């Protein structure tokens, strides 16, 4: 396509924006809190000494629609307290108070697209969406807002993206995500991803009602608000999971005997056993070791590591249990895969403690050392921690175990920490240096799920959280989680509420129904077989079921194995 240069013979900069030789300003960004500035002063780089008129707000008073990437009724019912009342195009800027009805709220559910029909093709010069941030209320700036235009509402063309300028300031504020362009279009849309809460107000479309036929009028664009390409579930036993098919979570070093695993505890977990003690098949071929809580100091992390490598418990006990199971199942070459927790350091203590012989305590608090230095210090801690684990592993020579990789403990990115994504990526790099795989089990709606691969995770298993939310529509939740997992190439977590073994029978019945919903959903949505799964089973909850002589409780154990073996036939989801 030939483009005509209408503003001069050379490329210039206007208001910090690159003007290409079409007279169109692409992907330029500014920030601000006002929607009334329609005259853009040329920047010093342009040295033009004059003002560029971008027109008036073409969207003023127009209606708009909102499209949601992964709709969820529970989240929508909460965000509807700040409903669509036309406030995005009423010309009135909302105050900083998030309780104001001038804001429209968007809670999780990932991508949002706000679309305005201008009524006819008009000349658009700039687009801007104003967003609020109030971290104490869980309201975060989106990482970016991108804009697309169309003349028929079907074929869309991207015209730019504006990124957040936030660097860690905790003071409530607003940012106008603005791009400049010169395009003729009838439809416009702004696209962003809500982390926790996103609050938006004015969507301003500056321009002129008469099209400029000397500039661009897109006709056949193929831009989408977000990718809908599905890659399928993460296969069990793949290289991404180091061959793991079913990963059991084991919590250690806390709550007395509940946090202390012996060989006798592990034996019926890694190999299914009959009531007579006969092993029938391998059950959990991977064990993820993690702490109760989140260790946040050098001393607590050292204590957990020391406990993990103690004699006759935890890793040592698992090694012994596998040796026994190998004989029972006549499988001498078998090795159990092990995944070990990495503390995410989402808390920021001023005195973490010393990790080097110098004895100098590291400061992880951004208020003391700044956001970037706090990030670097956290990176030092994680490097020190992974090195400890790998050195201990080598020195203990577990003949029946294989260190498969590491698990990122926080179940969501921390939206209030500007370098959190960088910390995850750097951790991934360290894990991969020695051939390990990087695992993550985010909760439903967690920040980062839609871009987990770009964060460096190899294996992701999404939590449906049905066992802990008895009032939600379980079918809809599983459908949503299954859709996400298939689109992004993830596995699924199976979750048991601790009340499945409650002495109160009615409570146990309800909890068990929710647990079995996962199995039936596996049948309905196709993740029972050949899909990587992790299993949250509380503190030895399934072991308690195995040890029970009451068929009502013991059946939990046998039914879980039936699901693992791909033999669950139920399809009813409560």
Q: Structure tokens of 487? A: 């689109």
Q: Do 167 and 261 have their domain in common?
A: no
The pLDDT of residue 506 is: 97
Check whether residue 266 and residue 383 sit in a common domain. Answer: yes
pLDDT digits (tens, 9 = 90+) for 193-207: 999 999 999 999 999
266/414 same-domain check:
yes
Q: What is the mean pLDDT of the chain?
A: 90
Rounded to the nearest 10 degrees, the angle between the axes of helix 371-396 and helix 420-433 is 30
Backbone φ and ψ for 185, nearest 5 degrees, come out as -160, 160
Residue closest to 404 by CA, chosen among 337, 476, 449: 337
Per-residue confidence (pLDDT) for residue 219, from 0 to 100: 83
Digit-coded pLDDT (tens) for 32-42: 333 333 333 33
pLDDT of residue 574: 81
- With residue 323 as reference, give the H or E element that holds it: helix 315-328
pLDDT, position 52: 65
Same domain, 489 and 435: yes
Q: How far is CA 271 from CA 91, 100, 282, 324, 340, in A?
A: 65, 57, 4, 10, 21
Cβ pair 130, 201 in contact under 8 A: yes
Taking only the tens place, the pLDDT of each residue in 475-489 is: 999 999 999 999 999
Closest CA to 122 of 27, 212, 37: 212
Q: Are 106 and 149 in contact (CB under 8 A)?
A: no
Q: Are residues 289 and 154 in the same domain?
A: no
Q: What single DSSP character describes residue 33?
A: S
Residue 290 lies in a domain: yes
Q: What is the pLDDT of residue 423?
A: 97
Are residue 374 and residue 437 in the same domain, yes or no?
Answer: yes
Name the one residue in this structure whose structure tokens are 């460096």: 456
How far the first Cα of the chain sits from its last, in Å, is 57
Mapping DSSP onto H, E and C, the string for 150-211 reads: ECCCCCEEEEEEEECCCCCCCCCEEEEEEEEEEEEEEEEEEEEECCCEEEEEEEEEEEECCC
Count the alpha carbons within 13 Å of 573 in the hemisphere toward its beta carbon: 20
Q: Give the integer Cα–Cα distance in Å for 509 and 520.
A: 16
Domain termination residue (choose one: 208, 229, 248)? 208
- Model confidence pLDDT, tens digit, residues 403-430: 999 999 999 999 889 999 999 999 999 9
pLDDT at 258: 94
Strands (E), 360-426: 361-362, 401-408
Residue 573 lies in a domain: no
Here the tokens at position 163 are: 């990124």
Return the CATH number at 75.
Answer: 2.60.120.260
Report which DSSP code applies to 526: T
523 belongs to a structural domain? yes
Q: Are strands 111-133 and 197-208 parallel, antiparallel or unpaired?
A: antiparallel
Q: What is the pLDDT of residues 47-80, one digit of tens each?
A: 333 346 889 999 999 999 999 999 999 999 999 9
SS3 300: helix
Least confident of 16-25, 249-258, 367-376: 16-25
Predicted confidence band at 218 (pLDDT cuts at 50, 70, 90)?
confident
Residue/partner pairs of 417-420 with CB below 8 Å, 24 or more apart? 417/168, 417/346, 417/371, 418/166, 418/167, 418/168, 418/371, 419/371, 419/372, 419/374, 419/375, 420/346
Domain range spanning residue 343?
A: 239-564
Residue 450 and residue 342 in one domain: yes
Using only the alpha carbons of the chain, give its radius of gyration: 28
Element (DSSP H or E) covering residue 116: strand 111-133
- pLDDT above 60: residue 110: yes
Distance between CA atoms of 266 and 288, rounded to whole angstroms?
Answer: 12
Percent residues over pLDDT 70 in the chain: 91
Query: Which of 25 and 204 is assigned the larger pLDDT?
Result: 204
| CATH code at position 254 | 3.20.20.60
CA atoms of 112 and 172, how far apart (whole Å):
22
Could you give the number of structural domains in the chain?
2
Q: What pLDDT, on a 0 to 100 scale, did the predictor assign at position 358?
A: 79
Q: Is the pLDDT of residue 11 over 80?
A: no
> Distance between CA 233 and CA 251 in Å, rounded?
27
Check whether residue 137 and residue 255 sit in a common domain: no
> How would you write 436-503 as a 3-class SS string?
CEEEECCCCCCCCHHHCHHHCCCEEEECCCHHHCCCCCHHHHHHHHHHHHHHHCCEEEEECCHHHHCC
The stretches of 272-311 forming alpha helices (DSSP H) are: 298-308
Domain-embedded: residue 266 = yes
Rounded average pLDDT over 122-147: 96
Query: Does any domain span residue 554?
Result: yes
Given 164, 185, 208, the domain boundary residue is 208
User: Per the domain annotation, does 182 fall within a domain?
Assistant: yes
Helices and strands (DSSP H and E) totals, the chain: 11, 24
CA-wise closest residue to 481 among 23, 81, 110, 59: 110
User: Domain boundary at 188, 208, 228, which?
Assistant: 208
Measured CA distances, 118 to 122, 147, 154, 178, 410 (Å)? 8, 15, 15, 18, 43
Residues shown for the chain: 574
Burial class (CB in 10 A: 0-12, 13-18, 19+), 51: exposed
Nearest Cα neighbor of 251 from 193, 200, 295 is 295
Mutual angle of helices 551-564 and 505-525, in 10-degree steps:
10
Burial of 513 (0-12, 13-18, 19+ CB in 10 A): middle
Query: Average pLDDT for residues 202-226, to the nearest whole number?
Result: 92
246 and 203 co-located in one domain: no
List, for residues 169-189, the tens digit of each pLDDT value: 889 999 999 999 999 999 999
- pLDDT tens digits for 247-299? 999 999 988 999 999 999 999 999 999 988 899 999 999 999 999 988 889 99
% helix, strand, coil for the chain, step of 5: 30, 25, 45
- 326-346 pLDDT tens trace: 999 999 999 999 999 999 998
| One domain for residues 195 and 249 | no
User: Would residue 495 count as lying in a domain?
Assistant: yes
- φ, ψ of residue 188 to 5 degrees: the values are -135, 150
Same domain, 98 and 139: yes
Return the exposure string of 181-209: e unless at least 16 CB atoms fall within 10 Å of the residue's CB, then b: bbbbbbbbbbbbbbbbbbbbbbbbbbbbe
Residue 372 pLDDT more than 70?
Answer: yes
Q: Which two structure tokens, joined as six digits, stand for 385?
A: 């921690």
Q: Is the pTM of this model over 0.85?
A: yes
DSSP H or E run through 544? helix 541-547
Is 227 part of a structural domain of the chain? no
Residues 204, 248 within the same domain? no
């Amino acid at each position: 396509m030939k483009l005509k240069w209408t503003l001069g013979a050379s490329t210039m900069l206007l208001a910090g924006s690159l003007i290409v030789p079409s007279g169109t300003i692409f992907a330029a960004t500014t920030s601000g809190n006002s929607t009334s500035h329609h005259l853009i002063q040329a920047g010093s780089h342009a040295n033009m000494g004059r003002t560029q008129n971008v027109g008036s707000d073409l969207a003023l008073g127009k209606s708009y629609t909102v499209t949601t990437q992964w709709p969820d009724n529970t989240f929508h019912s909460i965000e509807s307290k700040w409903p669509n009342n036309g406030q995005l195009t009423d010309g009135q800027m909302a105050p900083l108070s998030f309780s104001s009805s001038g804001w429209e709220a968007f809670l999780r559910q990932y991508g949002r697209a706000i679309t305005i029909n201008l009524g006819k093709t008009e000349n658009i010069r700039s687009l801007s969406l104003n967003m609020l941030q109030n971290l104490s209320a869980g309201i975060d700036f989106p990482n970016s807002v991108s804009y697309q235009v169309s003349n028929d509402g079907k074929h869309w063309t991207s015209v730019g993206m504006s990124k957040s300028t936030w660097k860690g300031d905790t003071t409530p504020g607003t940012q106008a995500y603005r791009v400049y362009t010169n395009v003729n279009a009838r439809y416009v849309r702004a696209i962003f991803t809500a982390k926790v809460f996103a609050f938006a107000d004015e969507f301003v479309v500056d321009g002129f009602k008469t099209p400029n036929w000397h500039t661009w009028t897109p006709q056949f664009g193929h831009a989408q608000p977000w990718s809908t390409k599905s890659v399928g579930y993460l296969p069990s036993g793949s290289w991404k999971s180091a061959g793991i098919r079913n990963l059991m979570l084991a919590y250690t070093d806390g709550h007395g005997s509940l946090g202390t695993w012996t060989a006798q505890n592990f034996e019926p977990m890694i190999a299914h056993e009959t009531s007579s003690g006969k092993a029938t098949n391998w059950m959990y071929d991977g064990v993820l070791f993690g702490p109760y809580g989140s260790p946040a100091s050098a001393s607590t992390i050292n204590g957990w590591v020391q406990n993990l490598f103690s004699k006759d418990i935890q890793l040592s006990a698992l090694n012994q249990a596998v040796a026994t199971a190998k004989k029972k199942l006549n499988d001498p070459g078998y090795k159990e895969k092990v995944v070990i927790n990495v503390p995410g350091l989402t808390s920021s203590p001023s005195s973490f403690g010393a990790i080097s012989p110098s004895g100098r305590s590291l400061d992880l608090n951004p208020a003391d050392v700044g956001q970037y230095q706090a990030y670097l210090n956290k990176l030092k801690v994680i490097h020190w921690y992974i090195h400890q684990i790998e050195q201990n592993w080598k020195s203990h020579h577990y003949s029946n175990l294989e260190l498969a990789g590491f698990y990122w403990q926080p179940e969501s990115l921390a939206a209030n920490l500007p370098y959190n994504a960088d910390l995850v990526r750097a951790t991934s790099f360290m894990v991969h240096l020695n051939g390990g795989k990087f695992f993550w089990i985010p909760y439903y709606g967690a920040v980062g799920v839609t871009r987990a691969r770009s964060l460096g995770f190899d294996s992701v298993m999404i939590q449906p959280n049905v066992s802990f939310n008895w009032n939600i529509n379980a079918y809809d939740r599983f459908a949503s989680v299954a859709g996400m997992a298939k689109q992004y190439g993830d596995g699924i977590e199976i979750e048991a509420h601790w009340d499945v073994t409650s002495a109160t029978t009615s409570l146990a019945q309800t909890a068990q129904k929710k647990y079995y919903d996962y199995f039936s959903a596996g049948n309905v949505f196709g993740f029972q077989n050949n899909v990587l799964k992790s299993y949250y089973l509380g503190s030895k909850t399934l072991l308690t079921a195995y040890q029970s002589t009451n068929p009502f409780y013991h059946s939990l154990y046998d039914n879980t194995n039936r699901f693992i073996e791909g033999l669950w036939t139920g399809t009813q989801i409560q």
